[in-house]
Chain A
């Protein structure tokens, strides 16, 4: 059995870091201001590039804890100070945005960075943007269906003709700036909706599986569905990625000690708005173990888990959602460095691919 993911789908392994713009604390434990948070993310992106990480993504959020509502501006600041790293959204809440504007912003980023832009489209698991921009959550499906269809048209290049119910129609519209070469990689982030998996294949988008709890292996049927759907729609193979949260430190103990209190605080807050139970030390142990979705530990521990899950999910891209809210900035920078210098080389070694 050949279980190298790059061979299964034909794509090289790539590794990314994702942030939601989490507010971190300074060396005295004081939470940083929103402005300082934004500036720190630029430093994080620059460090990520310098330690050989392939992708840096910013997830659109509109809340006090995650003040990154205009991530593409931050990405362009990172672009100006880096050379190799790809920069993208993780995710763009397309349902409450205008696909034409999203294309324009990322085509501009692509120009600025000489072809390093990527976009991950999502329906939005956090829904703060819907009321903010005057959208009705009941229109969730139609908004995403129509807008992901229009975005696929925009990627083909101008002129663009499109009709729908969620924005003004376009007829032979020139949308600028034009792409220099092939379209920037565009992914659809999927949390658990099979329709979204099929939609990604239908429009020819790459697939990112957002796995935020439970056993990653249970997503394997989604990878199979995606690969089958690509064949069904007679599309070429496309890469599959995995997005999950975690934290890397020198030892398992240190990583857990740094991460757990921050994770617990965030989950206590989230559980109030979502109505679910607060995690216990036991449930946390399970999540950071081999059958859980969180990647917390030493470089060895995290690398082994990433390799195993890329394999089982036929995936060639892993994106670590790093920097849990409230962590110290120094711990976050240390995580980035270890991920680039230790974790990624180890995963490549384990999977026997240096490509």
Chain B
């Protein structure tokens, strides 16, 4: 939505997962001018058609290659596959966690059954060498393209961005803004729990003011 200036080099987005969410994020990132690579579960030949039609302009590659080349890794695998995900693949990387844990839908996942922590905190503990940022999880992946608006538009929606590493959070916030949303920054992954299913913003289409209000009301309650 925002036209990037041709002289700036935007960070490379590496998407791990070519299911429901990965291609949707990839497409809007490309439209915002980001270079994008995408991987499925293995051989890129298996996702060649999906990449060509759904994420034109993206490079399909092996997961290790996509992760290695990326400045921002988007982790878009099914949550139940996370327990077997190899953390070394994304060591040293900024990793956007857009997964959600909601037992009535996903079935009970022991790894995430700890009420003290948000799902992204558990992801961060598992990916101890990465800087995890929680974002995009509360928006419908299928709306992500249609709902983009230029900065300043009256009906531009907000997306929460939560993380413990300020630099990583700001990198992802820029991505959110460039794609076509207002980024609402949260101070920690722990605070990011408010973006989870059952929370006030999950599945709701809110602008920046409504979003801030929902967070305040929830915190006050």
Decide: B53 and A228 in contact? CB cutoff 8 A: yes
Task: Decide if A138 touches B80 in the complex (CB within 8 Å).
Answer: yes
How far is A250 from B27 in the complex, measured between Cα atoms in Å? 41
Chain B binder among A100-108, A217-225, A256-264: A217-225
Residue B146, interface by CB 8 Å: yes
Q: Known interface pairs A137-B80, A194-B54. Does A275 touch B107 (Cβ–Cβ under 8 Å)?
A: no
- A277 contacts B104, C-beta separation under 8 Å: no
Contact A225 B50 (CB under 8 A): yes
Q: Is the CB of A275 within 8 A of B140?
A: no
B202 within 8 A of A: yes
> Which of B5-13, B16-24, B167-175, B177-185 lies at the interface with chain A?
B16-24
- Count contacts on B: residues with CB < 8 A to the other chain: 33
A331 and B145 CA atoms in complex are apart in Å by 36
How many angstroms between the C-alpha atoms of A140 and B63 in the bound complex? 22
| CB nearest to B146 among chain A residues | A215
Q: Is B105 an interface residue (CB 8 A)?
A: yes
CB pair A193–B107 under 8 Å, yes or no, is no
Question: Which residues of chain B are within 8 angstroms of A130 by Cβ–Cβ distance?
Answer: 107
Pair B23/A194 contact, Cβ less than 8 Å: yes
Residues of B within 8 A of A273 (CB): 104-105
CB distance from B191 to the nearest CB of A (A): 18
Are A194 and B202 in contact, with the CB atoms below 8 A? no
Q: Does B203 contact A (CB under 8 A)?
A: yes
Given that A195-B19, A218-B142 are contacting pairs, would A274 and B49 also be in contact in the complex, using a CB cutoff of 8 Å?
no
In the assembled complex, how far is the CB of residue A124 from the closest CB belonging to chain B, in whole angstroms?
Answer: 11
Tell me the count of chain A residues lying within 8 A, CB to CB, of chain B. 32
| A-facing residues in B89-107 (Cβ within 8 Å) | 100, 102, 104-107
B23 — which chain A residues lie within 8 A by C-beta?
194
User: Judging by beta carbons under 8 Å apart, are B107 and A225 in contact?
Assistant: no
Contact of A193 with B102 at beta-carbon distance under 8 Å, contacts A218-B142, A225-B50 already known: no
Query: CA A291 – CA B204 in complex, angstroms?
Result: 17
Q: Are B146 and A218 in contact, CB atoms less than 8 angstroms apart?
A: yes
Write the A184-198 contact mask toward B (1 if CB under 8 angstroms, else 0): 000000011111001
Which A residues between 321 and 352 are near B, CB-CB below 8 angstroms?
A: none
- Within the complex, the shortest CB–CB distance from A209 to chain B, in Å, comes to 11
* B142 contacts A274, C-beta separation under 8 Å: no
Q: Which B residues are closer than 8 A to A by beta carbons?
A: 18-20, 23, 49-50, 52-54, 78, 80, 100, 102, 104-107, 140-143, 145-146, 196-205
Task: Supply 12 further A-B pairs (C-beta < 8 A) apart from A218-B146, A228-B52, A275-B203.
Answer: A137-B106, A192-B20, A214-B143, A218-B143, A218-B145, A225-B49, A225-B50, A225-B54, A273-B104, A273-B105, A275-B196, A283-B205
Give the 9 A-B CB pairs with smallest separation, nearest first: A276-B203, A275-B197, A137-B107, A277-B204, A275-B198, A225-B53, A138-B80, A192-B20, A277-B203
* Residues on A facing B (Cβ under 8 Å): 127, 130, 136-138, 140-141, 191-195, 198, 213-215, 218, 221-222, 224-225, 228-229, 232, 271, 273-277, 283, 291
**Selected A-B contacts with CB under 8 Å, 30 pairs:** A127-B105, A127-B107, A137-B80, A138-B107, A140-B80, A192-B20, A193-B19, A193-B20, A194-B19, A194-B20, A194-B50, A194-B54, A195-B18, A198-B49, A214-B143, A214-B146, A215-B146, A221-B53, A228-B53, A274-B104, A275-B100, A275-B197, A275-B198, A275-B199, A275-B203, A277-B200, A277-B201, A277-B204, A283-B205, A291-B146
